[in-house]
Amino acid sequence: MLSKHEEELMRKTLAALDAEWRECSRSPEAAEALRSWAAGDPALAELPDLAAVLRARLDPEAAPRILAALARLAPGDELAARTLLRALMPGLVTMAAGAMAEDPTAFDEMVSLAWQRIRTYPATRTGSVAGNVLLDVRKWYRCHRDIEAPRGPRSRHRASQEPTAPSAEEVVVGRQLVDEVVAAGGKGVISPAAVRLVLRTRYVGVPLAEAAADEAATVEQAWHIRWKAERRLRPALQRAS
């Protein structure tokens, strides 16, 4: 069971995500995007709006086709990626609830990792989209946590298990995104500290705890700086991807 503090942390993040979702899902662009998706994939046909997509995702027979369709679109379509993230949110909440006693930022970090996985979801990957994304999030999260705060032989063993190597396409996208992050910092879209945190933790692989210490910030402060920066960067990152 979550403590009141942990519940409040999760509630704040969920509230921010809910507000963002309401704004984007009700926009004219959302309706136009859904029509475009439906024209290219029958799994998304006859669904009048994004709320209907999420309701249909609860049907065990329809869910695999709907999530697979969104996963195919997500690397190049931010709205599809947001819709898929929304569909996976219950699983992320459940998974994070078991980790927040040790790490109050677990939910925020898992949401961030899920977004990263969704935006680079391999077109050739088979199996359950929901299962694949949540499995990757859990694996990457545990690996990062063990690197940042090893707790014994078992932790060191898990920390040595690196995430699946990125595909050639992911490497190319990563290089493009580095240029976009640097350019955003030069234009004042994000702060110099945010540029350093995003590049060092996302692309160089520096543990968040180490990067936070270098910025004279707590891990939670560093995460919030990075999270806010990545929200501002989304339009530029979508164009680059």
**Token pair recorded at residue 74:** 């997500």
pLDDT tens, residue by residue, 124-134: 999 999 999 99
Lowest-pLDDT range of 34-43, 110-119, 201-210: 201-210
In the predicted model, what is the mean pLDDT of residues 71-96? Answer: 93
Q: What is the DSSP letter of 44?
A: G
Question: Is the pLDDT reported for residue 34 higher than 90?
Answer: yes
pLDDT at 44: 94
pLDDT at 163: 43
Question: Is the pLDDT reported for residue 4 higher than 60?
Answer: yes
Domains of the chain: 166-241 (1.10.10)
Distance, in Å, from the CA atom of 103 to the CA atom of 14, rounded to the nearest integer, reads 17
Question: Is the pLDDT reported for residue 70 higher than 90?
Answer: yes
Say what angle helices 63-73 and 129-148 make with each other, to 10 degrees.
60
pLDDT at 140: 85
Number of other CB atoms surrounding residue 163 within 10 Å: 12
pLDDT tens, residue by residue, 146-183: 544 433 333 334 334 434 444 443 443 455 567 778 88
Query: How high is the mean pLDDT of the chain?
Result: 79
pLDDT at 1: 60
